[in-house]
Amino acid sequence: MIVDGNVPTQTTHEDPVRRRPTIIDVAREAGVSKSTVSRVISGDGSPVRDSTRERVVEAIRRLGYERNAVAGSLRTNRTFTVILIIPDITNPFWPEVARGAQDALAEHGYAVVLANSDWDERREREFLARARSNRFDGIIINPAGVSNEELLLGGIPAVVVGLGTEYPDFDMVGSDSYGGTTLAMEHLIGLGHRRIGLISGVSRRSSSASRVNGYLDYLRRHDMPIEDDLIVRCPYGEDAGQQAMTQLLCLDRPPTAVFAANDMLAIGALQAVHEAGLRVPEDLSIVGMDDIHAVSVTTPPLTTVAKQKSESGWQAAAFLLERMGADAPAGPRQLAFRCSLIARGSSAPPSHIT
């Protein structure tokens, strides 16, 4: 208000937080009914004259109108939102899986909400409850502890990232870690190693035993001795890998080579060898699994078993899209991507046989 003598003059100021235009505003701007605007926006095939459609589209552009997805979901019972629940986004394996899933879902207009369970069953159940309360259309999950029955009771289409027998009612997509372990063992045996250690990551899921089983079965098939002290089970992570390798190096007869269950463990193992004053691969060879980018730039670059990470995420999303659209077969599906070995500088013939 500006006061000039005794005569007040009103002045108006534009609201700094501009009100979002509604479908009613668009109808008024275009000079049509609300139902006509709704037909143009929904694109449901209802007849609208081209000239009328053009007026509506121009009004939407001028006003900056954006469709209210929440209101739309109340009418269609779809939110076009999917939750992706993974153990830990700081593990470089998972961003590539997430990117593959997002790319597949975005093609069909779906947004992805990312949730980290940190291998915590309580957090995982909270995320599932949130998916239900927010009416998410689908779930992609690498389970920490939620059961097959709990996923079924949620009533939301779901796909599991990872292989195993724990989720018989769901589509599953993963990598053949058992076969990948065989590749690692064949590589090391082919180089001449006979005393091979295993750093095995520990997970709540029984399917995580695929690497241990692959390791043990390979030794049995080739009539090689199984020594329990060469197998170290630990949580996934660099620090755990470093501690596990230190334990192996303290043996009276240390291994000449080590296979680590994933690349994060392998990086930790590499650090432990360096800190012990030893050299890789001259004194000890190391092979990891996953082929995250970091192992290509370590010193030396790590030999690893590569997994198709982005492809796994994409395929999990493709399965989920079929489930959400009721286009999938009645029974659950399992798809296992083959692994491949990438030989780099961390593996070589042993300098001596112990």
Confidence at 7, pLDDT banded by 50, 70, 90: very low
What's the pLDDT at 354?
53
Per-residue pLDDT averaged across 60-64, rounded? 84
Per-residue pLDDT averaged across 233-239, rounded? 92
Q: What is the mean pLDDT of the chain?
A: 88
Per-residue pLDDT averaged across 56-77, rounded? 68
What's the pLDDT at 202?
80
Per-residue pLDDT averaged across 38-57, rounded? 80
What's the pLDDT at 139?
97
Confidence at 40, pLDDT banded by 50, 70, 90: confident
Confidence at 67, pLDDT banded by 50, 70, 90: low
Identical fold for domains 79-175+310-337 and 177-307, yes or no, is yes
Per-residue pLDDT averaged across 123-148, rounded? 93
Confidence at 1, pLDDT banded by 50, 70, 90: very low
* Peptide bond before residue 281 is cis, with ω within 30 degrees of 0: yes
Question: What is the third-level CATH fold of 2-67?
Answer: 434 Repressor (Amino-terminal Domain) (1.10.260)
Distances (CA, A) of 67 to 109, 135, 192, 267, 341: 13, 18, 65, 48, 48
Confidence at 6, pLDDT banded by 50, 70, 90: very low
What's the pLDDT at 18?
58
- Residue-range domain boundaries for the chain: 2-67, 79-175+310-337, 177-307
What's the pLDDT at 5?
43
Q: What is the pLDDT of residues 87-113, one digit of tens each?
A: 999 999 999 999 999 999 999 999 999
Q: What is the pLDDT of residues 161-196, one digit of tens each?
A: 999 889 999 999 999 999 999 999 999 999 999 999
Confidence at 2, pLDDT banded by 50, 70, 90: very low
What's the pLDDT at 53?
86
Q: Looking at the predicted structure, is the pLDDT value of residue 227 above 80? A: yes
Distance separating alpha carbons of residues 19 and 110, to the nearest angstrom: 26
What's the pLDDT at 19?
72
What's the pLDDT at 37?
83
What's the pLDDT at 16?
42
Domain 177-307 is found in CATH 3.40.50.2300: yes
Which has the higher per-residue pLDDT, 90 or 70? Answer: 90
Q: Looking at the predicted structure, is the pLDDT value of residue 233 above 90? A: yes
Q: Looking at the predicted structure, is the pLDDT value of residue 13 above 90? A: no
Which has the higher per-residue pLDDT, 27 or 340? Answer: 340
Mapping DSSP onto H, E and C, the string for the chain reads: CEEECCEEECCCCCCCCCCCCCHHHHHHHHCCCHHHHHHHHHCCCCCCCHHHHHHHHHHHHHHCCCCCHHHHHHHHCCCCEEEEEECCCCCCHHHHHHHHHHHHHHCCCCEEEEEECCCCHHHHHHHHHHHHHCCCCEEEECCCCCCHHHHHHHCCCEEEECCCCCCCCCEEEEECHHHHHHHHHHHHHHHCCCCEEEEEECCCCHHHHHHHHHHHHHHHHCCCCCCHHHEEEECCCHHHHHHHHHHHHCCCCCCCEEEECCHHHHHHHHHHHHHCCCCCCCCCEEEEEECCHHHHCCCCCCEEEECCHHHHHHHHHHHHHHHHCCCCCCCCCEEEECCEEECCCCCCCCCCCC
Which has the higher per-residue pLDDT, 151 or 70? Answer: 151
CATH architecture of 79-175+310-337: 3-Layer(aba) Sandwich (3.40)
What's the pLDDT at 283?
97
Per-residue pLDDT averaged across 234-263, rounded? 96
Confidence at 86, pLDDT banded by 50, 70, 90: very high
